[in-house]
């Protein structure tokens, strides 16, 4: 079981394929296994690194309050330690927030970025149209965290799936392995929410990233993600956007062919820039 010590934490990772270096960063509740639907296709022409973020599944869960900054530092250390610098990085949800946060501080580590629906609510807190929707989502997420901290990981996970991320009935449609992954990683979601900076981003710093970036949405996702993507696209000088029609928060799982096409398009842009 491959592991590497970065920033004092043992991180589980897997490597596959040959070609342009590509790092895939999963979101909250999940792990490296979430990327399985796109791995066969992407490893044909990319050297792909997947890993479990700290506190998730096979990686170490350190005690005490964590922060997204630690996740960013872990990503930087993995890219450098495993010889991936500079790399293409694709992040989903909180993984997208992590990639963008690091790009604002270490643009030298990136050849290109794909970020799907980073939940950076803080950067659009002043948006009059999406504000009420985000406030309602925030209340539901606070309710989820309260259940988790009361020792109800399954109830909290189900509430998150059905009331925040995916919709009614989706918990029962999930495979047993996915539900178990949610249960195991529930404490880390509560920890992420305890970081006062989890939903914020240094936009001024991010504007210094000059490489290509692709910001994506799902047509079936909550509409407030569009406000976040709009704000980010106005900051990143070489960004483009794409909407996955019929998809929600996990297009790499539900629409893998379209997802890999978009990643390849971003990589092609990065090659031309190089």
| Domain around 161 | 131-193
What is the count of structural domains for the chain? 2
Q: How confident is the model at residue 273 (pLDDT cuts 50, 70, 90)?
A: confident
Average pLDDT over residues 58-73: 96
Q: Which residues pair with 106 in a beta bridge?
A: none
Could you tell me which residue, 167 or 260, shows the higher pLDDT? 260
> Would you call 76 helix, strand, or coil by DSSP?
helix
35 shares its domain with 80: yes
How far is residue 265's CA from residue 139's CA, in Å, rounded to a whole number? 37
Residue 1 pLDDT > 70: no
What is the SS3 assignment for 169? coil
| Same domain assignment for residues 8 and 73 | yes
Condensed to tens digits (0 to 9), the pLDDT of residues 20-48 reads 999 999 999 999 999 999 999 999 999 99
**pLDDT single digits (tens) 191-232:** 999 999 999 999 999 999 999 999 999 999 999 999 999 999
With contact defined as beta carbons under 8 Å apart, do 246 and 255 qualify?
Answer: yes
Same domain, 174 and 266: no
Are 91 and 179 in the same domain? no
Give yes or no: residues 188 and 245 share one domain.
Answer: no
Instruction: Give the C-alpha separation, 221 to 235, whole Å.
Output: 22
Choose the final residue of a domain: 149, 175, 193: 193
Q: pLDDT above 70 covers what percent of the chain?
A: 99
**What percent of the chain has pLDDT above 90?**
92
The more confident residue out of 68 and 133 is 68
Domain boundary, last residue among 193, 213, 228: 193
Measured between alpha carbons, how far is 55 from 189 in angstroms, rounded to an integer? 9
Q: Is pTM, for the whole model, over 0.85? A: yes
How many beta carbons lie within 10 A of that of residue 176, not counting itself?
A: 7
Residue 86's pLDDT band (cuts 50, 70, 90): very high
In the structure encoding, which two tokens stand for residue 176, read together? 């047993």
34 DSSP assignment: G
**pLDDT tens for residues 185-194?**
999 999 999 9
Residues of the chain by 3-state class (helix, strand, coil), percent to 5: 50, 20, 30
pLDDT exceeds 90 at position 59? yes
Q: Which pLDDT belongs to residue 130? A: 86
Q: Answer yes or no: do 108 and 206 share one domain.
A: yes
For residue 7, what pLDDT is reported?
A: 94
Rounded to 5 degrees, what are φ and ψ at 230? -60, -45
Look at residue 236 in the predicted model and tell me its pLDDT: 97
Return d(Cα 229, Cα 234) in angstroms, integer.
Answer: 9
169 contact partners, CB below 8 Å, separation of at least 6: 162
Write out the E strands in the chain.
3-6, 9-16, 20-25, 46-51, 87-92, 110-116, 213-218, 239-244
Which of these, 113, 83, 121, lies nearest to 199 by C-alpha position? 121
What is d(CA 94, CA 91) in angstroms, rounded to the nearest whole number? 8
What is the band of 180 on the pLDDT scale with cuts at 50, 70, 90? very high
pLDDT at position 272:
86
Looking at the fold, whether 38 and 170 belong to one and the same domain comes out as: no
3-class SS at 149? helix
Q: What is the mean pLDDT of residues 63-78?
A: 97
Q: Are residue 115 and residue 32 in the same domain, yes or no?
A: yes
Determine the pLDDT at residue 129.
Answer: 87
């Amino acid at each position: 079981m491959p592991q590497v010590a970065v920033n004092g934490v043992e991180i589980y990772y897997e490597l596959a394929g040959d070609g342009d270096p590509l790092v895939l960063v999963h979101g909250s509740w999940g792990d490296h296994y979430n990327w399985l639907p796109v791995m066969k296709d992407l490893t044909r022409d990319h050297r792909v690194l997947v890993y479990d973020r700290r506190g998730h599944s096979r990686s170490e869960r350190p005690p005490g309050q964590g922060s997204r900054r630690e996740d960013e530092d872990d990503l930087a250390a993995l890219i450098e330690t495993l010889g991936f610098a500079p790399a293409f990085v694709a992040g989903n949800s909180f993984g997208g927030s992590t990639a963008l946060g690091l790009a604002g501080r270490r643009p030298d580590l990136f050849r290109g970025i794909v970020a799907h629906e980073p939940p950076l609510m803080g950067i659009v807190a002043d948006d009059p149209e999406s504000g009420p929707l985000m406030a309602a989502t925030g209340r539901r997420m606070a309710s989820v965290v309260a259940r988790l901290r009361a020792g109800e990981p399954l109830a909290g996970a189900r509430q998150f799936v059905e009331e925040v991320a995916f919709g009614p009935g989706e918990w029962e449609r999930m495979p047993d392995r996915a539900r178990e992954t949610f249960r195991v990683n529930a404490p880390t979601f509560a920890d992420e929410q305890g970081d006062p900076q989890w939903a914020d981003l240094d936009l001024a710093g991010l504007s210094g990233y000059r490489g290509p970036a692709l910001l994506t949405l799902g047509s079936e996702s909550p509409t407030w993600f569009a406000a976040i993507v709009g704000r980010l696209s106005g900051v990143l000088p070489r960004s483009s956007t794409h909407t996955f029609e019929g998809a929600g928060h996990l297009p790499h799982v539900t629409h893998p062919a379209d997802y890999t096409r978009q990643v390849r398009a971003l990589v092609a842009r990065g090659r031309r820039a190089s």
